[in-house]
Structure 1
Amino acid sequence: MPNPSQSRAAAFTVTAVLLSCVLAGCSDGPKDGDLTAQKLSWKDCPAPSESEGGGSAPSPLPGGAQWQCATMKAPLDWSAPKGDTIDIALIRARASGDPGRRIGSLVFNFGGPGGSGVTTLPAFGGDYAKLRTRYDLVSFDPRGVGRSDGVKCEDDSQLDAYFQQDAIPDDDAQRKSLVDNTKSFNADCEKNSGRTIPHVRTTDAARDMDLMRQVLGDDKLHYFGISYGTELGGVYAHLFPKNVGRAVFDGVVDPTQDPEQGALGQARGFQLALDNFAEDCTSKADPCPIGDTPQDVKDRIAKFLTGLESKPIPGVFPRELTQTAATNGIAQALYSKDFWEYLTEGLDQAYSGDGKELMVLSDSMNGRSEDGQYSNLTAANVSINCADEKPRYTVADVEARLPEFRAASPLFGDYLAWGMLSCTDWAVPGAADHPDVSAAGAAPILVVGNTGDPATPYEGAKKMVEALGKGVGVELTYKGQGHGAYDSGNKCVHNAVDGYLLNGTVPHAGTVCT
């Protein structure tokens, strides 16, 4: 993002840092470079920053408990722990029960990568009321996310154009445009956040969590990881197996897959979710407005998306609903069965020429608010993934794999295959083909897989259990729909997770919840 005046920009940055300390509560400075000795200054939370998605300050919890925010300092470069520091934004709600029965802090990561824990935890805080009886609920913006030195790539108008591009190219000109736009986006990330992007690997965030554990005063890290948060938790367990307390992984990433395998797994997962959605819509007593049979529903969606390639329809003014935006919106709605009714409404309206609802779903996926401001979700997601993932795919790589992706999902195959180009010309080399989560000697980790999960397919839970090592991972299966299991409200899942986190009762391996 160009600055008309470097001195003005520098003055604004200093002012913003000072204000954030006043509002959010910066930690007392570490003594003699020992960051474990810092004291957090907890204060009322400010409204979320633009990079966190904007909006209002978090509302009190039922009963009136206030959310509190603070800032922890961590090494910018963990290989030079006494060098420059980075600020990590934290949020907490104090335990509500008998202080004598308090276990400690329960740290949440809700995934992405790139999601702001500071904004997400309050949104779902009521769901964890039972856990709060014995834990302080804690979450954070991982480095590169939100207020934790959030990565900046492009501005709002540039991002509008970026997300309107054709991400499902059909000819050489469209392929060249996709590659050029990707390179331009990635170059802007380096230009605007060159200090940060070398230091946003998952291993860096895991080390931040161990520092957080110590600063919060806990002997063990009690942890609830969801989606990418399961990968982060697995990496933490690998690096610090003796420091693992009671931990739950929900919506589990397969840690054995490289990016191509992960994308292919998602193609299968979203196709399964689409199949289930179409079956659900046409099996009800009331007629399904978007098709007479499951196959008819899917055929009509495919025909509609093909038509958008040459003739977009009005979306959220002044933008049009393109093939890419519609595909993105459909994928967003498949993350949760709670969204299926909105997908039905959105498709029904779009077939009549109104693409607004599908575009709102797509905007949600991309971190765009109603006022046109973007969080840094996409910038952080790309930065963390590209810092973690060693492979760099080319157009030729994608073209060679398209038949397999199309076989996995006629609807989402091309979209997810071309997404493998996201790290083209990234400034920082990727760390590995896949994360190491082997954690011999760690306490039991409850690994919850959902058979209908589109984003982290069910098979990943078993792979995580195997990779953690014998005696560590304990698998629980939920036969349901949507991304993750705990937020489904299923009583069996809640009893198992709550029983472990609150009482230390490990469910029998292989437990199935329906």
Structure 2
Amino acid sequence: MRMTWAGLLAIVVLVAGCDAVGGAGSDSSASGGGDRRVERKAANPPPGLPAAFTTGQRLAWSTCPAPSAAQGDGRAPGKAWECATMKAPLDYRRPGRGTIDVAMIRKRVTGPERKRIGSLLLNFGGPGQSGVVGLPEYVPQYAPLGERYDLVSFDPRGVGATAPVTCGEKRFEGGDACQKHSGRLLPHVGTSQTARDLDLMRYLLGDEKLSYFGVSYGTKLGGVYAHLFPENVGRLVLEAPIDPTLNHLQKDLVQVTAFQLAFDQFARHCANAYDDCPTGTDPSQANRRVVDLLAKLKNKPAPTNGDRKLDEGSAVQAIANYLDLGEEGWWPLAQSLTEVMDRGTGSKLIEKAYSHGSRRGSRATAPGGNGMSSLVAITCADSNLRPGFFELERTIKRLQAASPVFGEQWAKSAYLCHAWPFKGERADPDVSADGASPILVVANTGDPTTPYTGAQRMAAELGEGVGVLLTVHAEGHGSYPHNRCAARAVRKYLLDGTTPATGCGP
């Protein structure tokens, strides 16, 4: 079986993923927004960097511009936001050989300055999501935290305005195009390099310890940071965590199995709750109904109320995105399937195909921006797997067998790094963080994108006394702030430093 890069695009977004006291030091940067805080440098600068990056650098905060083309375009975020650019080494192993500009954004603390804890850095997942664009969209969810923290996010290297990877003139064209347009960057966009950027940010923001909230892929970034800098770990929340013991092919198999289980649960609910359930009154027939629909869409995509048509790949992506919402996605999924099955139009599904499935927000993942290029580049910079033909065939058969609904599309992900022009770092991330302060790991038992077993392993791999697992008995990808129990626990941890003693029931 052969798969072109163009055929891979429809599924890559699906399988992408597709969070002790923090430092009380005040912001050490020069601010264009009238920042009059007492400047106080953190005592522990990142090791091994020339002074030009540390004591010789100050963040110049100013009014944020409109998002760039690589960030997806759009409007500037408004007066409440400040943006800055941080100089970082292209390669931390050779910090004297070139630099990159890291794009940052912040919203300063809204509560009394005397109660300010420090800066809270956030990563919303991906890889490939712009934090500079994402934070203004998601900030209402973090408002209680913003009363005591400056909320800060950034574009990880390779993404958006931070050394953006380009893999074609107008769209993703594959590994050769990535090498042609961004060859200098590709070896240096991996998660371990971005984790070192995090530590440089921590220092320049004036925090002795890092306070961090990572979601989905952001938990990998947080875990790698804790491994590299356990002494600088303050209050870290890893929500909807990845499984650090799996390589990306193993992760895909676990993930597609979890999505099939989530679909089966939806089908049972649909049959029992809705008189006109589009997947039928017999849950055992639901898979067949949807598989038949996907076959029709493969041969003849359905019209929508826009320029795009609903094909097989976008329909699978939309179904997965609805399931990522947990129970609140079941009724909209039923309506969307009814529209395409009964009326032959796919407007509802196509809209969901290009929005985040999780509760984190609804920003379109396509078109626009360099999210696709950066997703592949970061994944392949992290992973050293370059499977041969026979291994690919075995992997594809396992994925197809694991799920009637999702397996065919998920199987395309096996080719993700097959012909990548550079070596990756390792098969799975090292997140062991002996000596770090307690890190809060938050996970839903019914999360299809990052299944619960991965959270258990993340907590264990962080180390005894470090990884603290908060089990949330709920469906969907992510629980903060929508699950009240989880929200209380996360806020108490980040605001007071108290780790929860129990989980969150149904």
* TM above 0.5: yes
Pairs within 5 Å for 1:254-403:
254-284=243-273, 287-315=276-304, 318-337=307-326, 338-351=328-341, 352-364=343-355, 373-403=367-397
- Per-residue displacement from partner, 1:286-305 (whole Å, max 9, x unpaired)? 64344324334333111101
Aligned residues of 1:394 and 1:421 also touching (Cα < 8 A): no
* CA distance in structure 2 between the partners assigned to 1:405 and 1:372 by the alignment: 25
Q: Could you say if the C-alpha distance between residues 448 and 84 of structure 1 is closer, same or farther in structure 2, counting changes exceeding 3 Å? A: same
Q: Residues of 2 paired with 1:419 and 1:214: CA distance?
A: 38
Do 2:294 and 2:315's aligned partners in 1 also have CA atoms closer than 8 Å? yes
Q: 1:32 to 1:370 in 2, by over 3 A?
A: closer
The answer as to 2:493 corresponding to 1:503 is no
Structure 1 unmatched runs, 5+: 1-22, 25-29, 61-65, 160-183
What are the within-5 Å matches in structure 2 for residues 4-83 of structure 1? Answer: 33-59=52-78, 66-83=80-97
- What is the identity, as a one-letter code, of the residue corresponding to 1:327? V
Question: Judging changes above 3 Å, is the alpha-carbon distance between structure 1 residues 279 and 51 closer, same or farther for their aligned structure 2 residues?
Answer: farther
Q: How does 1:112-261 map to 2 (within 5 A)?
A: 112-156=126-170, 158=171, 184-261=173-250
- 1:221-274 per-residue CA deviation (whole Å, 9 max, x = no partner) reads 001010010010000000000000011100010000011210001111211221
Q: TM-score, normalised by structure 1?
A: 0.83
Q: CA deviation at 1:369?
A: 8.6
> Residue 27 of structure 1 corresponds to which residue in structure 2?
none
d(CA) in 2 for partners of 1:370 and 1:103?
33
Q: 1:324 to 1:289 in 2, by over 3 A?
A: closer
Q: Which has the higher contact order (CA 8 A, sep 6+)?
A: 2
Q: Judge conservation of contact 2:189–2:381 (CA < 8 Å) in 1.
A: yes
In the TM superposition, what whole-angstrom CA distance separates every residue of 1:39-81 from its partner, at most 9, and x where no partner exists? 1111122222222122222256xxxxx0111111110111111
1:410 aligns with 2:404: yes
Could you tell me the TM-score, scaled by structure 2's length? 0.85
Q: 2:355 is paired with a residue of what secondary structure?
A: helix
Determine helix, strand or coil for the equivalent of 1:207: helix
| 2:487 counterpart of 1:494 | yes
Q: Is the 8 A contact 2:240 2:478 kept in 1?
A: yes
Share of identical aligned residues, percent? 46
> What is the aligned residue count?
457
Q: 5 Å matches for 1:428-439?
A: 428-439=422-433
Q: Distance in 1 between matches of 2:388 and 2:348?
A: 34
Question: Which one of the candidate residues 105, 113, 119 is aligned to 2:119?
Answer: 105
The 1-side partners of 2:51 and 2:209 are apart by 25
Change beyond 3 A, Cα 1:109–1:308 = same
Q: 1:466 to 1:368 in 2, by over 3 A?
A: closer
Unaligned runs of 5+ in 2: 1-31, 34-48
Secondary structure of the structure 2 residue equivalent to 1:275: helix
Structure 1 residues 318 and 394: alpha-carbon distance in aligned structure 2, compared to 1, 3 A threshold: farther
Whether contact under 8 Å (2:294, 2:312) holds in the other structure is yes
**Cα distance, 1:311 vs structure 2:** 2.6
Greater shift in the superposed pair: 257-266 or 205-214: 257-266
Alignment deviations for residues 179-219 of structure 1 (CA, whole Å, 9 cap, x no partner): xxxxx511111111112111101000000000000000000
Question: What is the alpha-carbon distance in structure 2 between the residues aligned to residue 38 and residue 281 of structure 1?
Answer: 57
Contact 1:314 1:321 in 2 (8 A): yes
Query: In 2, Cα distance between the equivalents of 1:221 and 1:353?
Result: 51
Residues 202 and 384 in structure 1, CA contact (< 8 A), matched pair in contact too: yes
Q: Is the 8 A contact 1:270 1:454 kept in 2?
A: yes
